Chain A
Amino acid sequence: MKIWQRLICTCRRRSPWLFHMNSGSCNGCDIELVAALSPRFDAEQLGVRLEGSPRHADIMCVTGPVTRNAVSAIKTVYGQVCHPKAVVAIGSCPATTNVFIDSRTLAGPLEKHIPVDVFVPGCPPRPDAILQGVAKAAEILAERGMKPPDSATTPAVEEAQR
């Protein structure tokens, strides 16, 4: 049993699939995330795959300062990522709302709505910093997978299922 658990832990660490969610970003961070997957930085070496559907993903990457419109979408998508999951906030925007602070269209920062595991600061952060953040999140994810899903960290929107 122990060996099986260790194997699963390793596999989770070595195969983080990402879902990219833009919550009103200026597109700077999004371009850097795409650059991290490009031949120069080659995130696939870490087993990273960018997935189109949140159901397939393990790590949710959020960029942008969280506009009011995006809040419900973020919660839905967070609920759609299956356990175990982790959240990476890319850029200064989701952490602090950055230059958009005090705007009345914002409902940020991100941590008010969903639990965040890793913050990657920068405006925008460099692709290698993003990769480091993803690797860190994969480690957190592997440890979290050992425990049953915690209802305190899972918002009530767990299943926006039809």
Chain B
Amino acid sequence: MNLLTALARLLVFPGLLFAVPAAWFFLWVERKAVALMQERIGPPFMQPFFDFVKLLAKRTPPRQGIGGMLMRAWPLIAVSGAAGAVGLLPVLPSSGGFEGDLILLLALLELPSMCIIAAGFSSRSIFGEIGSAREAALSVSYNIVFLLAILSVAASQHTFRLETLAALPASPLRWLGIAAILVCLPAKLHINPFSLPNAEQEIYAGPMTEYAGPELAMWELAHGLEWVAGAGLVATLVAPHMAIGGLAAMLFIALSFVLVLLLSTLAAATARLAIDTTVRFYWRCTLIFALLAISSALFMRFRS
């Protein structure tokens, strides 16, 4: 991947120029799906955009010292991490990439949730601290399953390169891995039934309680970009290989949209689980499947 393609992927497609409007669209789909499930009309189509611009134009309270600077930095780091993850997705055929970019993608996907944890603690609000502690517990429990699932997908197809992975036909093992990723996505996106860190009826906005104005706008954007990256990752793994760029892009968008719709409907239909139930769910129920997937992937690898 030369510098030009890398920049084009990061800034144009599937990077910022595509990902930011897509993030707003997915945020709208999320809210609209909840509204439709409750027989409401719901927010207008442009609502996430209105919210974003309004928040950008609001004043932030003055913050002094290193804590204040950190509080401004976390949302920016989260946005850049999520945007970088979207930029790495192998949407277009033969768009480049490098050996091991899957690992970089996983690291970038994890960055927003790290930032949320740090942000809650640096805001020094009691609600922020509780939210961060919950996010940390949640992240420890789903990430093991998530990483094992992705590892099993990669090991079953003998590559850590996203593009090769997307081009290969899906094996039954890969479907098992994808199912495990899907189980982890609601926790990664903090939506119901795993919306523990930002449980607004319990701890207000959790780690975001002290954030206002442009910083909050960046958090909203980071959440939207996480939607694009999470749904996009599954979409690239599921999609059959297409030779034509336009067709591949359309398929990617359609698959991501379906995924977002499914996950938002699930979020609207479920209530929040308690933290101990959530942790138990991931450690007891799903870990066993992830272990099964990884061990069979490794077994097949040694046999072949």
Contact = CB atoms under 8 A, between A and B. Distances in A.
Q: Do A and B bind each other?
A: yes
B41 A11 contact: no
Interface string B24-63: 0000000100010011111110110111011001111111
Nearest to B204: A52
- The SS class assigned to the B binding surface is loop
A45 B41 CA distance: 7
A14 interface: yes
Contacts of A47: 43-44, 47, 50-51
Interface stretch (A53-61, A64-72, A90-98): A53-61
Contacts of B35: 42, 44
B209 interface: yes
A46 B285 CA distance: 42
Given A53-B210, A55-B209, A42 B61 contact: no
A10 B59 CA distance: 17
A10 B285 CA distance: 48
A20 interface: no
A52 B200 contact: yes
Nearest to A37: B40
A42 B58 contact: no
B212 interface: yes
B103 interface: no
A161 B213 contact: no
A11 B54 contact: yes
B53 A7 contact: yes
A82 B40 CA distance: 30
A106 B190 CA distance: 42
Interface in A3-17: 7-8, 10-12, 14-15, 17
Nearest to B35: A44
Interface of A: 7-8, 10-12, 14-15, 17, 39, 42, 44-45, 47, 49, 51-53, 55-56, 58, 80, 82-84, 145, 149, 159, 161-162
Interface of B: 31, 35, 38-44, 46-47, 49-51, 53-54, 57-63, 124, 127, 200, 204-205, 208-213, 216
